[in-house]
Amino acid sequence: MVSAVSCNGGSDGAIDLNVTGGTPAYLYAWSNSSTDQDLTGLSAGTYTVTISDENGCTRITSATVPQPTALNLSATVQNMSCFGGNNGSINLSVAGGTPTYSYVWSGGQSVQDINNLAVGTYTVTVFDANGCSASYTAVVSQPPVIEMSATTEPIIACTGGNNGSIDLTVFGGTPGYSYNWAHIPGASNPQDPTGLSAGTYTVTVTDAAGCTAVQAFTVDQLSDVMATVSVTAVTCNGGNDGAIDLTVNGGLPPYTFNWAHLPGTDDPEDVQNLTAGKLRLYNHRCQFLHGGCFGYGYPTDHHRIYPGDGGVLQCGQRWLDRSDGDRGRRALFVSVE
């Protein structure tokens, strides 16, 4: 009688040899050099024995010790759909060994397949009916978190108040993305909204796996352009050493300047070597606010600075005549006297 090896690669097989006939006593000569009648502690293989009786008669016979196939473990891993979730799973397949099987997972589970897993490493040890074992390790991963950043274009108040925009960048998760801005009707919105007034705008980004992220972005409103003027009066009647030192802030730098008395449109901020007179500084984009005076383009306030006022802007109350050829532009008028 042959006893198989319990586990693949083991050495607990046995051969129980039963001899009849001939003339006892018998002698045994096995192919593994043993002289015992029965063999134990055998690995899988074929063993041959020569049996001799008292009269020298012989008989040769062989026996094969089998073994089960090796335990073979494999798994199909379902990774996380969304960052930080717990919908991962491991579907374990077992072959070989001697059924039935039992399972011991590193997380304490004792079933073949495990579900509702968070990101991590999971190890299982499988035992067959003979107590043979094999281990398998599987990793449940997750996509990166959905992240957003944005460049916002602020509102320029003097140009209408609804020219803001948001340039949104999305990364992480599972591309492609869809966008739902709270202020836009419907569920399919553009990535980069435009025509915005000042305020806070909230977007929900959904990736290809159905994961979502929500973030709010603020569109600011720029302050109005403000100009501060410092005038240096002409020293002597008829001289040309007057100067205007202009300081501008607010709005959206950089600034451009167009003094009416200078050729071209790209002029310096400050002007020197002036004779007495009235100068105009045009701003084609936004109004000037300074010293409580402001010009809305047409008609335009007329602002004069006199030699003895220490450079503080004084506001005249007369309007530019409608027949003025520059009435379509916004102008700051400064007098050097």
Contact 38, 100 (CB under 8 A): no
Is the pLDDT assigned to residue 309 strictly greater than 70? no
> What is the rounded CA–CA span in Å between residue 122 and residue 120?
7
DSSP E strand boundaries for 172-300: 178-181, 199-206, 212-219, 221-222, 226-232, 242-249, 258-259, 271-274, 277-283, 289-290, 293-294
pLDDT at 150: 96
Q: Residue 335 phi/psi, 5° resolution?
A: -105, 135
pLDDT tens-digit series, residues 208-227: 999 999 999 999 887 777 77
Query: Residues near 214 by Cβ (< 8 Å), separated by ≥ 6?
Result: 202, 203, 204, 205
pLDDT at 310: 34
| Least reliable range by pLDDT among 18-27, 113-122, 144-153, 239-248 | 239-248
Q: Which residue has the higher pLDDT, 291 or 96?
A: 96
Per-residue confidence at 296, pLDDT binned at 50, 70, 90? very low
* Per-position b or e across 166-178, b if 16+ CB within 10 A of its CB: bebebebbbeebe
Per-residue confidence at 293, pLDDT binned at 50, 70, 90? very low
pLDDT at 158: 61
Q: Which residue has the higher pLDDT, 79 or 314?
A: 79
- Region 66-81: mean pLDDT is 96
- Region 57-67: mean pLDDT is 97
Q: Which residue has the higher pLDDT, 230 or 50?
A: 50
pLDDT tens-digit series, residues 76-100: 999 999 999 999 999 999 999 999 9
Per-residue confidence at 280, pLDDT binned at 50, 70, 90? low
Per-residue confidence at 337, pLDDT binned at 50, 70, 90? very low
* 150 SS3 class: strand
| 114-117 and 13-15 beta bridge pairing | unpaired
Q: What percent of the chain has pLDDT over 70?
A: 80
* 216 SS3 class: strand
Contact 141, 120 (CB under 8 A): no
Length of the chain: 337
Please list the residues that pair with 164 across neighbouring strands.
196
Is the pLDDT assigned to residue 265 strictly greater than 80? no
Is the pLDDT assigned to residue 154 strictly greater than 60? yes
Q: What is the 3-state secondary structure (H, E, C) of 24-53?
A: CCCEEEECCCCCCCCEEEECCEEEEEEEEC
Tokens of 326: 């520059």
> What is the rounded CA–CA span in Å between residue 30 and residue 51?
9
